[in-house]
Amino acid sequence: MSGRGGGTPWHLFALLAAAAGLAFALSLAIGPSGFGFKPAGDAGALIFWEIRLPRAVLGTLVGATLGLSGAALQGYLRNPLAEPSLIGVSGGAALGAVLAIHLGLSQVLPLALPVGGLLGAAAALIAVAALAGLRGGPITLILAGLAVSATTTAAISLALNLSPNPFAAIEMVYWMMGSLADRSLTQVWLGAPLMLAGIGVLLLLGRALDALSLGEDAAVSLGIDAKRTRLALIAGIALSVGAATAITGVIGFVGLLVPHALRPWLGHRPGLLLPASLLGGAILVTAADIALRLLEPWADVRIGVFTALFGAPFFLWLVLKTRSELAP
C-alpha cells in the first residue's frame, strides 16, 4: 500500500490539494444563474460575492474542520469509530442556536443564530473539559462527551416541545439539518477566524498522535506532554467544530468517513492523516454541496441530510467490517 514506508506521500497530498482547489473553484462557478465566475444579469457580481463566495468558503472551511477534527479525535482515542460530535461541542452549538430561535432573538438580530451557536459550543466545551479533566484516558473524554451530548439533546427536545409557534419549531429543525446556503459574508467572518485557530491547534498534534499509537506511557516516555495534548485536542475541536456548527448546523459523518477512507493511503500513520483529512473533508463537503446544486430534485435537500444519507450505510459497512475482523 502506498505510504507504508518512512517518507511522506507528497504525490497524495498534491492530488488532494489540487482536488480541494478544483472543488472550491467549481463551487464558485456553479449555480442557478449560470456557469462561470461572472454570473449573468445585473445582479451577477452580487450573486458571486454575496452568495457563491460565502458558500464556497464555508464548504471548504467546514469540510476541512470536520475532516481534521475526526482524524484528530480518532487518533487521540485510538478508535476509528470516533466522530467530532462525540465530545458534545456540536450538540452545544445546536442547542445555542435552537435557543436563539426559541427566544425569538433570531427574528430581531441577524447574527443571533451563529452567536447563540458559539455561546452554546463554549458552554459545552467548559462542561466537557470540567467533566473529563486533564488527566485520565480516552474513556473519561468519551463519557464526558456523551453526558454533555445527552444533556443538549434533552434540552433541544424541550425547546422544540415548548416552541412558541410551529414556524419556530420548523426553523429549529431545518437549522439542525445543516446547510451551507444563504450564509452571509459576515457570518463567514465571524466563524472563519475561530475555525482557522482550531485547525491550527489540531494540526500541531501530529507527533503526539503518532506517539500515542504505542499507548500513553510510551508516548510520554517519547517526550509527549499528555496534559497539553488533551487540552489542545479538546480546545482545537471545540473552536473549529463549535464555530462550524454554529454557522452551518450539524453536518454529520464527514469526520467519521474522511479519515477512515484516507488512512490506508498514509500507512495508517495518525500524524500524516491530519493534513490529509483536512483536505479530504474540504473536498467531500464542497463536492456534496455542488452535487446538491446540480441534481435538480435534490435542490431542497440540506447538506447535513445528504451526508447522513450516504454516511449511514458507510457506518453500517464499517461495523460489519469491524465485526468480521473481530470474529474468530
Partner 1 sequence: MRLEASGIKVWLKRRAVLNGLDLAADRGQLTAVIGANGAGKTTLLRVLAGLLPAAAGEARLDGRALAAWPRPQLARTLAYLPQERTIHWALSARSVVALGRLPHRALGQGESAADRAAIARAITTMDIGHLAERPVSDMSGGEKARVLMARALAQEPQVLIADEPATGLDPAHQLALFRHFVTFATSGRTVLVALHDLSLAARFCHKIVLVHAGRALAAGPPEEVLTPPQLAAAYGIAAEYRTIDGLPVVLPFDVLP
- The binding site for partner 1 (CB under 8 A) comprises 4-8, 78, 204, 207, 210-215, 217-218, 220-225, 263, 267-270
Q: Which of 252, 240, 236 is nearest to 176 (CA)?
A: 252
Residue 239, all three cell numbers: 473552536
* Alpha carbons 248 and 255: distance in angstroms, whole number: 15
- Burial class (CB within 10 angstroms; exposed 0-12, middle 13-18, buried 19+) of 102: buried
Would you give the DSSP letter of residue 296? G
Closest distance to partner 1 from the beta carbon of 274 (Å) = 12
Give the other-Cβ count within 10 Å of 117's Cβ: 31
Residue 21, all three cell numbers: 482547489
Instruction: Please list, in sequence order, all residues whose beta carbon lies within 8 angstroms of the beta carbon of residue 217, skipping any fewer than 6 positions away.
Output: none
Would you give the DSSP letter of residue 50? I
* Alpha carbons 107 and 238: distance in angstroms, whole number: 27
